[in-house]
Amino acid sequence: MDFSDLNKATANSFNKQKAIIKKVLAGQSVYCPSCKQLLVLKPSEKTLKVECLKGCTDIQLETE
């Protein structure tokens, strides 16, 4: 089997998630691609979390 396409897709979505987090951290309004709700930043001790109200976007970034 050839996994290169799968790996590419994963890398793409990871880069997209990083881009979204960067925008939110920069204070920009970013909307969920699925439900079009505003994404909110929820920082906690060890992770930064960006999520929408409905939970279809749920991105976590470790800060350590």
Residues that bind Zn ion (CB under 5 A): 32, 34-35, 52, 54, 56-57
Closest distance of CB 36 from Zn ion, Å: 7
Identify whether the C-beta of residue 59 lies closer than 8 Å to the C-beta of residue 42: no
Give residue number: closest CB to Zn ion.
Answer: 32
Taking the least distance from each CB to Zn ion, the nearer of 25 and 35 is 35
Say how far residue 52 (Cα) sits from the centre of its chain: 10
Taking the least distance from each CB to Zn ion, the nearer of 6 and 33 is 33
